Amino acid sequence: MRIEIPREVERFGPVQIHDVQKVWELDAGLKLKELEPKEKERRVITRISYESLQDIQEQMAIVVPIKDEKIKLLEGVLAGIPHECLVILVSNSKREPVDRYKIEMDALNHMSKFMKKDIFIAHQKAPLLAQACKDAGYEYILDDKGEVRSGKAEGMILSTILAYLCGKKYIGFIDSDNYFPGAVYEYVQEYSAALYSAKSDYSMVRIAWHSKPKIVESSLFFAKRGRASEHTNKVLNMLMSSYTGYGTEIIKTGNAGEHAMSMDLALNIDYSSGYSIEPYHYINVLERFGGVIDSPSADVMKQGIQFFQIESRNPHLHEVKGDEHVKSMSREAMEVIYRSPLCPDHLKQEILIDLYNRGLLKEGEEMPETVRYYPALTKVNMLKFKQALAKASFAEFLKADLSKYKHKNGKKKLARETVKSKDHLPDPHEQLEIK
Ligand code: GDD
């Protein structure tokens, strides 16, 4: 892959947010290929060989969350994931009246005869997984019935634990309703390119789609951003600006469902429920490590956190789930920003006005509390989680070497719990080291 270096970077304490990077060549050849004489001068472009991407993919799990999607779509998505990645399908599909999960398993068995992939599937509501959460001291994602809660985030959290237990160093997410296997392939290549280039062990890469095709007046129109994303990005950027004192448009991937990160980062951030999980990545990293609020981890602070945003080349075409779905996703994104102890009062007002204007809240209504927060996975006792899964159908994949693992019984709290109200916050301008 040949990819431009980020032109801009915003710094928020030790957190670096890199500007969107453009891909110039999806495949830039093998490692040993001789460099063109002028190559070294073109420092604005990085060439990442096929082998280097593959090296990252050998250490990467790709999680595919699925809930009642068409099997044909799933088949395409699986076909697009590069061979070296381990694939974890986490399903919350209906079991009744039609057992859609069984259909998914059948389809997977059938596909496995043709595809040669390391892949397994787990149902989010499986009693064994709920038991593993209980045994491991991570009951936060369980509901009153003792089952893992529904939601994309909850499925992602579970599969992050599974990926860790599989010994993976990186984890990436790909939605199961993508129409273009070629886009799926590209996203994973871009995850690998960014994580290969990362200087910190705590890094994340998010895909900014090149375009999202729609039919407008009987013609194809390639829209640049999704409807929810525009608002989320704007407000996230305003939040950054309110601390740095400079206007910015650096964040272009506030809602990015397609993203990947190092396992070190995945274990050290808090999560929020449902579709708010992606914007909350930004919020939580700024809360935990931005330097404004006490940080729970000195090592993360020292190494810094790097966000990369890569503009993909393929158009992004996925199942359309309707207006109400997009509205609730957008409202949840606004809620996690609004509820952050970092969010200044003036921005809270702006968020409410935006939600009133878009009809996502009634005029004068307060922000409802719909989002749940889950603490970082350092709270999970991984040994106990693994033991509980000894009889799982996918137990053979859980081969991480835990011989040196010591559970520190996570003293870490939710970043949101570290301050009670905004009054307790130190002056951010004194705290931040803006380089
Ligand atoms: N395991 C699991 N559990 N998977 C789920 C659940 C659940 O409760 N709910 C949804 N999924 C799966 C879907 O089957 C799909 O593959 C993926 O999660 C994304 O869900 P969609 O409902 O299709 O979301 P979307 O396409 O509208 O939004 C996507 O893009 C947004 C950015 O525009 C998601 O990735 C969002 O998280 C993202 O913000």
| Beta carbon of 150 within 6 Å of any ligand 1 atom | yes
Average pLDDT over all residues of the chain: 89
- Ligand 1 atom with minimal separation from the 173 CA: 35
- Confidence label for 428 from pLDDT (cuts 50, 70 and 90): very low
Contacts of 396 (CB under 8 A, 6+ apart): none
Instruction: Name the residue at shortest CA distance from atom 13 of ligand 1.
Output: 66
- The per-residue pLDDT for range 394-424, each reduced to its tens digit, is 999 999 999 888 887 655 566 655 443 333 3
The CA distance from 67 to 271, in Å, is 20
| Beta carbon of 257 within 6 Å of any ligand 1 atom | yes
Probe residue for ligand 1, chosen from 68, 123, 175 as the CB with the greatest number of ligand atoms within 8 Å: 175
Check if the beta carbon of residue 151 is closer than 8 Å to that of residue 273.
yes
Residue 153: pLDDT above 90?
yes
Probe residue for ligand 1, chosen from 64, 152, 210 as the CB with the greatest number of ligand atoms within 8 Å: 152
| Beta carbon of 346 within 6 Å of any ligand 1 atom | no
Distance between Cα 303 and ligand 1 center (Å): 32
Specify the pLDDT at position 33: 65
Specify the pLDDT at position 206: 98
Residue 294: pLDDT above 90?
no
Residue 43: pLDDT above 50?
yes
Instruction: Name the residue at shortest CA distance from atom 25 of ligand 1.
Output: 321
Instruction: Specify the range with the lowest mean pLDDT, choosing from 56-60, 72-76, 277-281, 289-293.
Output: 289-293
- The per-residue pLDDT for range 332-375, each reduced to its tens digit, is 999 999 999 999 999 999 999 999 999 999 999 999 999 999 99
Instruction: Specify the range with the lowest mean pLDDT, choosing from 77-81, 183-187, 242-246, 279-283.
Output: 242-246
Q: Which two tokens stand for residue 381?
A: 């006792």
Residue 186: pLDDT above 80?
yes
| Beta carbon of 212 within 6 Å of any ligand 1 atom | no
| Beta carbon of 190 within 6 Å of any ligand 1 atom | no
Distance between Cα 346 and ligand 1 center (Å): 31
Reported for 393-396, long-range contacts at CB under 8 A and 24+ positions apart, including other chains, are 393/120, 394/120, 394/121, 394/122, 394/162
Specify the pLDDT at position 198: 95
Distance between Cα 176 and ligand 1 center (Å): 8
- Ligand 1 atom with minimal separation from the 318 CA: 26
| Beta carbon of 255 within 6 Å of any ligand 1 atom | yes
The CA distance from 143 to 127, in Å, is 12
- Ligand 1 atom with minimal separation from the 176 CA: 16
Distance between Cα 94 and ligand 1 center (Å): 15
Q: Which residue has the higher pLDDT, 412 or 17?
A: 17
Distance between Cα 298 and ligand 1 center (Å): 33
- Ligand 1 atom with minimal separation from the 277 CA: 37
Question: What is the mean predicted confidence (pLDDT) over 81-106?
Answer: 96
The CA distance from 288 to 295, in Å, is 5
Question: What is the mean predicted confidence (pLDDT) over 209-215?
Answer: 78
| Beta carbon of 156 within 6 Å of any ligand 1 atom | no
| Beta carbon of 290 within 6 Å of any ligand 1 atom | no
Contacts of 302 (CB under 8 A, 6+ apart): 14
Probe residue for ligand 1, chosen from 63, 67, 71, 123 as the CB with the greatest number of ligand atoms within 8 Å: 67
| Beta carbon of 297 within 6 Å of any ligand 1 atom | no
The backbone region for 11, taken as left when phi is positive above 0, alpha when psi lies in -120 to 50, beta otherwise, is beta
| Beta carbon of 67 within 6 Å of any ligand 1 atom | yes
Radius of gyration of the chain from its Cα atoms, rounded to whole angstroms: 21
Question: What is the mean predicted confidence (pLDDT) over 121-138?
Answer: 97
Element (H, E) at 111: helix 100-114
Instruction: Tell me the three-class secondary structure of 88-106, residue by residue.
Output: EEEECCCCCCCCHHHHHHH
Question: What is the mean predicted confidence (pLDDT) over 297-318?
Answer: 91
Question: What is the mean predicted confidence (pLDDT) over 34-48?
Answer: 71
| Beta carbon of 175 within 6 Å of any ligand 1 atom | yes
| Beta carbon of 155 within 6 Å of any ligand 1 atom | yes
- Confidence label for 431 from pLDDT (cuts 50, 70 and 90): very low
Sign of the dihedral defined by the CA atoms of residues 44, 49, 50, 54, in that order: negative
CA dihedral in degrees (346, 351, 356, 359; nearest 10)?
170
Residue 185: pLDDT above 80?
yes
- Ligand 1 atom with minimal separation from the 177 CA: 16
Specify the pLDDT at position 210: 81
Residue 192: pLDDT above 50?
yes
Contacts of 297 (CB under 8 A, 6+ apart): 268, 288, 289, 412
Distance between Cα 152 and ligand 1 center (Å): 6
Residue 427: pLDDT above 50?
no
Alpha-carbon distance values, 73 to 68, 191, 257 (Å): 11, 21, 17
